[in-house]
Protein backbone atom coordinates (compact mmCIF):
# COMPACT_ATOMS: atom_id res chain seq x y z
CA UNK A 1 0.00 0.00 0.00
CA UNK A 2 1.17 3.50 -0.76
CA UNK A 3 1.00 6.01 2.06
CA UNK A 4 0.06 9.49 0.88
CA UNK A 5 0.55 11.68 3.90
CA UNK A 6 0.64 15.43 3.47
CA UNK A 7 4.39 15.26 2.87
CA UNK A 8 3.73 13.63 -0.52
CA UNK A 9 3.62 16.05 -3.51
CA UNK A 10 0.55 14.39 -5.04
CA UNK A 11 -1.26 14.55 -1.72
CA UNK A 12 -0.38 18.21 -1.27
CA UNK A 13 -1.65 18.97 -4.78
CA UNK A 14 -4.99 17.47 -3.70
CA UNK A 15 -4.95 19.45 -0.43
CA UNK A 16 -4.24 22.72 -2.23
CA UNK A 17 -6.91 21.99 -4.85
CA UNK A 18 -9.55 21.55 -2.15
CA UNK A 19 -8.41 24.15 0.37
CA UNK A 20 -6.70 26.93 -1.47
CA UNK A 21 -7.67 26.86 -5.13
CA UNK A 22 -6.76 30.51 -5.86
CA UNK A 23 -5.74 31.79 -2.45
CA UNK A 24 -2.10 30.67 -2.36
CA UNK A 25 -1.96 30.61 1.46
CA UNK A 26 0.18 27.98 3.17
CA UNK A 27 -1.63 24.95 4.62
CA UNK A 28 -1.46 24.83 8.42
CA UNK A 29 -0.42 21.81 10.46
CA UNK A 30 -4.02 21.51 11.69
CA UNK A 31 -5.35 21.44 8.14
CA UNK A 32 -2.77 18.82 7.21
CA UNK A 33 -3.90 16.68 10.15
CA UNK A 34 -7.53 16.94 9.01
CA UNK A 35 -6.61 15.89 5.48
CA UNK A 36 -4.52 12.98 6.74
CA UNK A 37 -7.47 11.81 8.83
CA UNK A 38 -10.24 12.32 6.27
CA UNK A 39 -8.67 11.83 2.84
CA UNK A 40 -5.12 10.49 2.66
CA UNK A 41 -4.05 6.85 3.07
CA UNK A 42 -1.79 6.19 6.04
CA UNK A 43 0.34 3.13 6.78
CA UNK A 44 -1.83 2.28 9.79
CA UNK A 45 -5.16 2.43 7.90
CA UNK A 46 -7.02 -0.82 7.45
CA UNK A 47 -9.11 -1.72 4.40
CA UNK A 48 -12.30 -0.19 5.82
CA UNK A 49 -10.65 3.18 6.45
CA UNK A 50 -8.93 3.16 3.06
CA UNK A 51 -12.32 2.54 1.42
CA UNK A 52 -13.90 5.44 3.30
CA UNK A 53 -11.01 7.77 2.46
CA UNK A 54 -11.36 6.91 -1.23
CA UNK A 55 -15.07 7.79 -1.03
CA UNK A 56 -14.16 11.07 0.70
CA UNK A 57 -11.71 11.97 -2.04
CA UNK A 58 -14.35 11.27 -4.67
CA UNK A 59 -16.89 13.49 -2.88
CA UNK A 60 -14.27 16.25 -2.66
CA UNK A 61 -13.62 16.01 -6.41
CA UNK A 62 -17.36 16.25 -7.07
CA UNK A 63 -17.45 19.31 -4.82
CA UNK A 64 -14.62 20.91 -6.79
CA UNK A 65 -16.38 20.16 -10.07
CA UNK A 66 -19.51 21.82 -8.69
CA UNK A 67 -17.47 24.89 -7.61
CA UNK A 68 -18.42 24.24 -3.99
CA UNK A 69 -16.58 26.41 -1.44
CA UNK A 70 -13.69 24.68 0.32
CA UNK A 71 -15.30 24.99 3.75
CA UNK A 72 -18.42 23.21 2.48
CA UNK A 73 -16.39 20.36 1.00
CA UNK A 74 -14.69 19.81 4.37
CA UNK A 75 -17.95 20.17 6.31
CA UNK A 76 -19.58 17.51 4.19
CA UNK A 77 -16.75 15.07 4.88
CA UNK A 78 -17.34 15.44 8.61
CA UNK A 79 -21.02 14.69 8.02
CA UNK A 80 -20.03 11.35 6.43
CA UNK A 81 -17.33 10.42 8.95
CA UNK A 82 -17.60 9.24 12.51
CA UNK A 83 -13.86 9.14 13.07
CA UNK A 84 -14.19 6.29 15.57
CA UNK A 85 -16.28 4.14 13.20
CA UNK A 86 -14.25 1.44 11.40
CA UNK A 87 -16.99 0.25 8.99
CA UNK A 88 -16.53 0.41 5.23
CA UNK A 89 -18.49 2.90 3.12
CA UNK A 90 -20.65 0.02 1.86
CA UNK A 91 -21.42 -1.10 5.43
CA UNK A 92 -22.37 2.46 6.41
CA UNK A 93 -24.63 2.82 3.35
CA UNK A 94 -26.39 -0.51 4.00
Q: Is residue 53 part of a domain?
A: yes
Domain count, the chain: 1
Residue 50: which H helix or E strand, with range? helix 47-65
Whole-number pLDDT of residue 85: 59
Q: Is residue 77 part of a domain?
A: yes
Q: Is residue 3 part of a domain?
A: no
Tell me what the mean pLDDT of segment 13-34 comes to: 77
Q: Is residue 1 part of a domain?
A: no
Under the phi-then-psi rule, with left for phi > 0, alpha for psi from -120 to 50, and beta for the rest, what region is 67?
left
Q: Is residue 2 part of a domain?
A: no
The whole-angstrom separation of Cα 91 and Cα 39 is 18
Q: Is residue 58 part of a domain?
A: yes
The burial of 5, by beta-carbon neighbours within 10 Å (0-12 exposed, 13-18 middle, 19 or more buried), is given as middle
- Cβ atoms of 86 and 52 closer than 8 Å: no
Write out the residue range of the structural domain in which residue 18 sits: 9-93
Give pLDDT tens digits for 27-56.
Answer: 788 888 888 888 888 888 888 888 888 988
Q: Is residue 23 part of a domain?
A: yes
What is the DSSP annotation of 51-91?
Answer: HHHHHHHHHHHHHHHTT--HHHHHHHHHHH--TT----HHH
Q: Is the pTM value of this prediction over 0.85?
A: no
pLDDT top residue among 16 and 93: 16
Amino acid sequence: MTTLGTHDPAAMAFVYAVLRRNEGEPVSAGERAIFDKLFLPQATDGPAILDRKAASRQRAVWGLEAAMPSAEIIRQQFMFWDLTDKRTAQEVAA
